[in-house]
Structure 1
């Protein structure tokens, strides 16, 4: 069973492009992780949300990859005043 996520991020309008860059830097940390399958960065047409998606081949791969993000890119995932509302994150299981 693969494991995925979808996360909605709400950066202030003046920080959207910066936030997209942060998401791509997190993706770069995920790329070499065992069991990583894919991650994408999307922006809504209105530019009011950045949506990230990802997929891993197992729960173990998912947990290991995000441990690497915390270790190697913690500054990129910190929630701060550049975001105007809390993130909404869902973990997904394939069926």
Structure 2
């Protein structure tokens, strides 16, 4: 069973470009873990959200990728640079 996620992030306009850079760094760490099939960074059509998506071969590979993020030198802090809470949905293939 493949697993994935879709995450919507809402950076404040003054931090938008910085936030895209942060998401790209996290993408690089996630995608380097074994079993990662893809990780993408998108911008919503209205320009308000940075959307990240990913897909892994298994739940174990998914967990390993996020464990790598926890120990990497990347900024995943939720703080005043974002104007509303992130929306993160974990997915499973059917």
Fold match by TM threshold 0.5: yes
Structure 1 runs (4+) deviating above 2 angstroms are: none
| TM-score of the aligned structures, taking structure 1 as reference length | 0.94
**Structure 2 partner of 1:89:** 88
Q: Cα distance, 1:32 vs. partner? A: 1.8
Q: Cα distance, 1:26 vs. partner? A: 0.5
Q: Cα distance, 1:30 vs. partner? A: 1.5
Q: How much is the aligned-residue C-alpha RMSD, in angstroms?
A: 0.9
> Contact 1:41/1:51 (CA < 8 Å) preserved in 2?
yes
> Contact 1:36/1:61 (CA < 8 Å) preserved in 2?
yes
Give the distance between the partners of 2:92 and 2:21, measured in 1 at CA. Answer: 27
How many residue pairs match? The answer is 94
| TM-score of the aligned structures, taking structure 2 as reference length | 0.95
**Structure 1 partner of 2:41:** 41
SS at match of 2:32: coil
Which aligned pairs between 1:4-83 and structure 2 lie closer than 5 A?
A: 4-73=4-73, 75-83=74-82
> Contact 1:22/1:76 (CA < 8 Å) preserved in 2?
yes
Structure 1: tracts of 5 or more residues without a match: none
